[in-house]
Structure 1
Amino acid sequence: MSARDTISNRTWDELEVGDTARVERVCAVQDLILFAHASGNTNPLMLPSTEKAAQPGDLAMAPSLWVGSLISAVLGNILPGAGTVYRSQSFRFPSRVHVGDRLLATVKCVAKRERPVAVFETTVATADGRLVCEGTAEVETPLASIATPRRALPQIIVDQEDHFAKLFAAAAGLPPLNTAVVCPDDRNSLEGAALSARSGLIRPILIGDEAAIRRMAAEIGEDISAFQIVAEKDSRAAAAKAVSMVRAGEAAAIMKGNIHSDELLAQVVKKEGGLRTQRRISHCFVLDVPTLEQLLFVSDAAINIAPDLTTKVDIVQNAINLAQACGIAKPRVGVLSAVETVNVNIPSTLDAAILSKMADRGQIKGAIVDGPLAMDNAIDLEAAQTKGIASLVAGRADILIVPNLEAGNMLAKELTFVARAEAAGLVLGASAPVMLTSRADDARARKASCALALLYERFRREGAPARRLA
């Protein structure tokens, strides 16, 4: 291991009065969020706004003790370094630090006391010399020389932006949808319907076992007195009733409650009395992924098991329309496969290439479509550049089209349960939006699906989004 890969400390015997050391650090949004997690201090003055992307210049100020903690980085890492233990630290904070400020934390040895104690003058200043923190540290210095490897800390993913909040804002002010909620007799589905109603997104029509619905409402403390209830104990009959209410104009959307997806979809897709249109019905997940700067649309992961090329055309167009309804004027669509080159032995690469060319010729409208793309180069620009892929989509896809249901379902659930993405979803291509939520989805995920339904229904009627996402 070379000297540049290690950090050596300074023992009490080696330390001299006047020795100095410093570290440089830029205050970032992530610092404020992580400090709030570690300390429990959620003072709104010291947290970035969740209503917009936090940027340098955000009015949130850095907590003073976070600024002071930069001193410990100098003492513990450089001077005296490894083995140093605090005895005391005083602080004074003459001015404030904000996101984007470049800071210089400096320590200077001003006294050596009885072995192993030393005293340091400590300051933190901005790059232009403005003093933001000063004080005195008394520490026990190391007595033995230690050379430690420079340590790369594990990466921490911080979700800096609430993309679902943008959906809620875009849907605000639109007339709520009369929504048939099928079998809302469990906590998540009833709470989701009630939350969405309070948010002005839907007017719920609760269809199912009335006694079970009222018991659950009492159990969770929800007032459902303002909601219409259609009594129907059989879940299949409840699904059929929801579809018939949409066909009769009594409801404008359907929301899945405590019912199996197959039971609900069987009523939606049936040839006589269902909600079919000329376009193939498909499902689209909309995911707020902590590592991405925009919403991610994944289709189809819930309805079409092994779609052929004709079906994929409708899957792509449905997803494009939903993205446009959410304010993405010209979405970028990445058609996924295992590789990013056409391979006759991998049928999904042939489909991807054809879909891309169909978009070029106007057979798929409203988006830039490219494929085949592997997952890495579809969403990671560096990966795409490393592989030399020249594409307007690679590295920046808004929509991912998967080869089949298995791949899509695994991808969406991996993002949800491994990458901690929040997921909403919608059935598209029917004569009314259908919120095909998972029974495990919480109330917020269901609220996001309701916002999607409201935005999509407006887009279907008027051909334009409610507003662009900020």
Structure 2
Amino acid sequence: MTVAVPAQDASQHGQRRHDKYDRLVATAQSRPKLKVAVAHPCDAASLGAVFEAAGLGLIEPILVGPQAKITAAVKALGKDVSTMRIVDAPHSQAAAEAAVDLVRSGQAEALMKGSLHTDELMAAVVRREGGLRTARRISHCFVMDVPGHDTPLIITDAAVNIAPTLEDKVHIVQNAIDLARALGADPVRVAILSAMETVNPKVPSTIEAAALCKMADRGQITGGILDGPLALDNAVDLGAAKIKKIQSPVAGQANVLVVPDLEAGNMLAKSLTFLADADAAGIVLGARVPIILTSRADSTIARLASCAVASLVADAQRKQLAMPEV
């Protein structure tokens, strides 16, 4: 199924197609509906995303927040909420905690950010008692639909880890690899980005890149092919890689870009969004369940793609749990 882009989104994007996101949505539609606890969906933007995703059969939402506010916002949208479950919570913090509790009790398989601040939702996720922590470091991935690029491009971490250590980056890379595999990437080619493609002791990110690649060689990171340090141009452009004479199975064809820190990742993702007409679907990984982060500035297709990505991640997790123990 192809997802039609509404007129306002089409005009913003020059009538371009979103083939990569359309494929993600279509694939997710073939999976079981994702049971999602939506934390504090009290405005048109967050509720609109919920109704769009539910209408396409991607999610089965549970709305968590002040019932009166949710009902009023739904009425203003002209939608019918009678078929959706509402869990009453007095304010945004309580809504975040209640949404996490729905996951812990097995009633939901994912979280979705409503009209509360990301920090409020994540505080409930990472709390020591009653949160959703795992042995993994929590990290964020943008799954970007970039015009002219053949496949979705994963950028990490541009939203959670401000200045990740080498140990943090092991988890960030592994989360991204697992995501790419859930989305059907094969092989997963991971470029560890820096400002250059040679190891320079004066540039710490180049040393960390080299260490990550050696850790992958020794099986400390699995499921993907790593190379780095690589500059952005020779990570995504074969011509640039050839000019630099880089012999690598990753250079020029990376589908995962690991940035040195949050500032670099945020600027890269926003540059692609605002200068290259890209869309960015956002997801947080490393917790017990995928966490859908949407923004009021997101296009319709980006919001739907975020739900589709979470659905595919959750489906991969279901299959892993279904595997017999060795």
Same fold? TM cut 0.5: yes
2:107 corresponding residue in structure 1: 250
Q: Does 1:424 align with 2:272?
A: no
Residue pairs, 1:268-417, within 5 angstroms = 268-417=125-274
> Residue 109 of structure 2 aligns to which amino acid in structure 1?
A
Structure 1 residues 355-379: Cα deviation after superposition (integer angstroms, max 9, x where no partner) = 1111122211111100001111111
Q: Secondary structure at the match of 1:297?
A: strand
Q: Secondary structure at the match of 1:189?
A: helix
> Residue 203 of structure 1 aligns to which amino acid in structure 2?
E
In 2, Cα distance between the equivalents of 1:374 and 1:325? 26
- Could you tell me whether the CA contact under 8 Å between 1:333 and 1:393 is conserved in 2? yes
In 2, Cα distance between the equivalents of 1:371 and 1:204? 41
Q: Does 1:451 align with 2:317?
A: no
> Residue 451 of structure 1 aligns to which amino acid in structure 2?
A
Higher RCO (C-alpha 8 Å, min separation 6):
2
> Residue 172 of structure 2 aligns to which amino acid in structure 1?
I
More helix by share: 2
Q: Secondary structure at the match of 2:130?
A: coil
In 2, Cα distance between the equivalents of 1:380 and 1:307? 26
Q: CA deviation at 1:333?
A: 0.4
More strand by share: 1
Q: Secondary structure at the match of 2:284?
A: strand
2:11 corresponding residue in structure 1: none
The structure 2 residue matched to 1:241, chosen from 75, 95, 98, is 98
Q: CA deviation at 1:440?
A: 2.0
Aligned residues: 312
The 1:158/1:374 distance shift into structure 2, 3 A limit, reads farther
Q: CA deviation at 1:50?
A: 6.5
Q: CA deviation at 1:160?
A: 5.8
Q: Secondary structure at the match of 1:315?
A: helix
In 1, Cα distance between the equivalents of 2:15 and 2:47? 30
Q: CA deviation at 1:404?
A: 0.6
In 1, Cα distance between the equivalents of 2:221 and 2:146? 27
In 1, Cα distance between the equivalents of 2:208 and 2:92? 38
The 1:206/1:160 distance shift into structure 2, 3 A limit, reads closer
- Could you tell me whether the CA contact under 8 Å between 2:41 and 2:114 is conserved in 1? yes
Q: Secondary structure at the match of 1:333?
A: strand
Q: CA deviation at 1:187?
A: 1.5
- Could you tell me whether the CA contact under 8 Å between 2:21 and 2:301 is conserved in 1? no
Q: CA deviation at 1:171?
A: 1.2
- Could you tell me whether the CA contact under 8 Å between 2:279 and 2:299 is conserved in 1? no
Percent identity over paired residues:
55
In 1, Cα distance between the equivalents of 2:15 and 2:254? 21
Q: CA deviation at 1:219?
A: 1.7
- Could you tell me whether the CA contact under 8 Å between 1:192 and 1:444 is conserved in 2? no
Structure 1: segments with no counterpart, 5+ residues: 1-48, 52-156, 465-470
Residue pairs, 1:33-48, within 5 angstroms = none
1:105 corresponding residue in structure 2: none
Residue pairs, 1:105-116, within 5 angstroms = none
- Could you tell me whether the CA contact under 8 Å between 1:192 and 1:442 is conserved in 2? no
Q: CA deviation at 1:419?
A: 1.0
Q: Secondary structure at the match of 1:287?
A: strand
In 2, Cα distance between the equivalents of 1:438 and 1:247? 25
Q: Secondary structure at the match of 1:372?
A: strand
Q: Does 1:165 align with 2:22?
A: yes
The structure 2 residue matched to 1:264, chosen from 121, 133, 137, is 121
> Residue 35 of structure 2 aligns to which amino acid in structure 1?
N
The structure 2 residue matched to 1:438, chosen from 285, 295, 305, is 295
- Could you tell me whether the CA contact under 8 Å between 1:268 and 1:276 is conserved in 2? yes
What do you get for the CA RMSD once the two structures are aligned? 1.9
Structure 1 residues 290-349: Cα deviation after superposition (integer angstroms, max 9, x where no partner) = 020110000111111111111100100000000000011221000001111101111110
Residue pairs, 1:134-173, within 5 angstroms = 159=16, 162-173=19-30
Q: Secondary structure at the match of 2:86?
A: strand
2:36 corresponding residue in structure 1: 179
